[in-house]
Amino acid sequence: MLSLLIFFPLLAALVTAFSGEHAKKVAFAAAIVEFAYSLCLFFRFDPVGGIQFTENFAWITNLGISYHIGMDGIALLLIMLTTFLVPLIILSSFNHKYKSPSLFYSLILTMQFALVGVFSAYDGFLFYIFWELALIPIYLICLMYGGKDRLRITLKFFIYTLTGSLLMLVALIYLWLQTPGTHSFDLQALYALNLSAVEQSWIFWGLFLAFAIKMPVFPFHTWQPDTYVDAPAPGTMLLSGIMLKMGVFGVMRWLLPIVPQGVAEWGNLAMILSVIGVVYASMIAWVQKDFKRLIAYSSIAHVGLISAGVFSLTFQGLHGSVIQMISHGINVVGLFFIADMIEQRTGTRDMDHLGGLRTTAPGFATYFMIIMLASVALPLTNGFVGEFLLINGIYQYSQILAAFAGLTIILGAVYMLNAYMKISLGEAKSVAKHFAALTLTEKAVLVPIVIMIFLIGIYPKPLLEIAGPAVEALKLSIQTATSLK
């Protein structure tokens, strides 16, 4: 029952909202149950079985809107990522004291509800609703628990993303009007549409802008660094770890097969923008002093590479982007958690004021190093698998673009190692002198992350096998859509 997986977090959110001081324990327990349940689905999932756990019944009949959910390999992995990360995110916030914790954790669980919904929707309208629903809890989290300048920044974030959403809504309504008979929002009906080239171009931009803002792809990224920096740590983790995957996922399921000609016409531009984003964001990350901001920019660079891989439309590119979404989600949550711990213990994120953590807190520095190396895609870590496939895919598309995209390996190593050096090596600065040892809950967050880094890095086969057939099916549906039109 996939519905249960979607609605359980919502139920848990309601319970959490009324659980007062016990909120964080209730929320954590609920997230663990959700993860366990998703594991059950994971083991029952048949990689070559196509779309599974389908449920389909009418919701608003006279508009052809149905509650149609299901999941293929890509969605399964993203749902697993969500259910894996949410308990860690909740756990990572245990050393913070948030005012009215019941509300805070209830919002996180509501967010999880919307995210799982986005990844399972097979009806355009349902997808849109979940897409919007995901925005409200994260907006409130940032608004109520964010930093000093949160009022201005969150509004910018909201309006930016809502612009994209509304354009997507218009595009979806347009598509709906083109479906035959009494109209339908069903994904298959949208795939089967016969649109002219001009229409496809317009629809492409309507949908692409929504996804590009969410990811974010250069030049639609300006909301992102401020929001990431200003949001409370769990909010940043939700945004970067899971929410930006909504954009990539949207491109895969709701853009490429629906308007293949539009993609053929504008995909090249999207590729170039993505690659520009990779180089541009890496350069900016290089000169950052604020560690959290550095991670924010590195996230733009990584997602640029993922997006370029998707638009290359090659099997390796698409395959790599799925794997990299998972790896990036895990790594970036780890990095933001590291940044959060540093800020909590030393009171600063400015790397010039930090230093020598390796001598004062060797255990911490080791975790930091592993996650950092995974983020720069060292072989045997999870980052390497995806990045290798991605660059391979981009190379098949264009060697020049691949050359630029490949810079990410060098630049990523430069800024990440630079940051590591400033924070951990050298002489211990005053703020780093008394770096408290890791607590049990902190270890409980870091250890699963490190295990996943090595597990995926050394033995990525199960992941590749789950994603493979789904990517194959996606490519096939793009091809049939192209030949139809």
Partner 1 sequence: MNTLLVLAGIGVFGLFSEIFRFKKALLPVVFLGLAAALVTTVCDWNTNVSYFNNMMKVDNFSLAFSAVMICITMLWFIISPGFFTDETSKSDHFTLILFALTGGVLMSSFNNMVMLFLGIEILSISMYILAGSNKKSLASNEAAFKYFLMGSFATGFLLFGIALIYGATGSFDIDVIATRLSEGNLNSSVMLFAGILLTMIAMAFKVSAAPFHFWAPDVYQGAPTVITAFMSTVVKTAAVAAFFRLFIHTFTSMTEVWHTALMIISAATILVGNITAVYQTNVKRMLAYSSIAHAGYMLMAIVSMNSAAPSALLFYVIAYSVSSIASFTILLMVSNSTGNDSIESFYGLGKKNPFLAIMTLISMLSLAGIPPTAGFFAKYYIFIAAMENHMMPLVLIAVLGSLIGVYYYFRVIIAMFRDGNEKEIDFSGRYKLVMIIAGILALALGVAPGIVTGLL
Applying CB under 8 A, the residues found at the interface with partner 1 are: 59-63, 100, 103, 128-129, 132-133, 135-136, 143-144, 151, 154-155, 158-159, 162-163, 166-167, 169-170, 173-174, 176-177
Instruction: Give the distance from CA 44 to its chain's centroid.
Output: 24
Q: Residue 52 forms beta bridges with which residues?
A: 71
Residue 151 beta carbon to partner 1: minimum distance, rounded to whole angstroms: 5
The gap between the terminal CA atoms of the chain, to the nearest Å, is: 36
Question: What is the rounded distance in angstroms from the CA atom of residue 209 to the CA atom of residue 165?
Answer: 8
CA distance 89 to 241: 10
Question: Between 63 and 407, whose beta carbon lies closer to partner 1?
Answer: 63
- Closer to partner 1 at the Cβ: 77 or 142? 142
Question: Minimum distance between the CB of residue 65 and partner 1, rounded to whole angstroms?
Answer: 9
Give 132 or 290: the residue with its C-beta nearer to partner 1. 132
- Identity of the residue, 128 or 368, whose beta carbon is nearer to partner 1 in the bound complex: 128
**By C-alpha distance, which of 322, 351, 321, 331 is closest to 422?**
351
Nearer to partner 1 (CB atom), residue 65 or residue 333 = 65
Helix and strand numbers (H, E) in the chain are 20, 2
Minimum CB separation from partner 1 for residue 220, in Å?
15
Question: In this complex, which beta carbon is closest to partner 1, that of residue 133 or of residue 413?
Answer: 133
Whose CA is closest to 214, among 250, 187, 171? 250
What 3-state class would DSSP assign to 70?
strand
C-alpha closest to that of 42 among 197, 410, 34: 34
CB 110 within 8 A of CB 139: no
Nearest approach in angstroms of CB 59 to partner 1 is 8
Q: From CA 124, how far away is CA 169, in angstroms rounded?
A: 9
Q: In terms of CB distance, is 136 or 438 closer to partner 1?
A: 136
Q: How far is the CB of 176 from partner 1 (least distance, A)?
A: 8
| DSSP three-state, residue 219 | coil
Phi-psi region of 429 (alpha: psi -120 to 50; beta: other; left: phi over 0): beta
DSSP for residue 432: G
Closest separation in Å from C-beta 309 to partner 1: 31
Helix ranges restricted to H, 45-100: 73-92
Instruction: Find the shortest distance in angstroms from Cβ 143 to partner 1.
Output: 6
Please state the closest distance from residue 96 (CB atom) to partner 1, in A. Answer: 18
Based on CB atoms, which residue is closest to partner 1, 158 or 420? 158
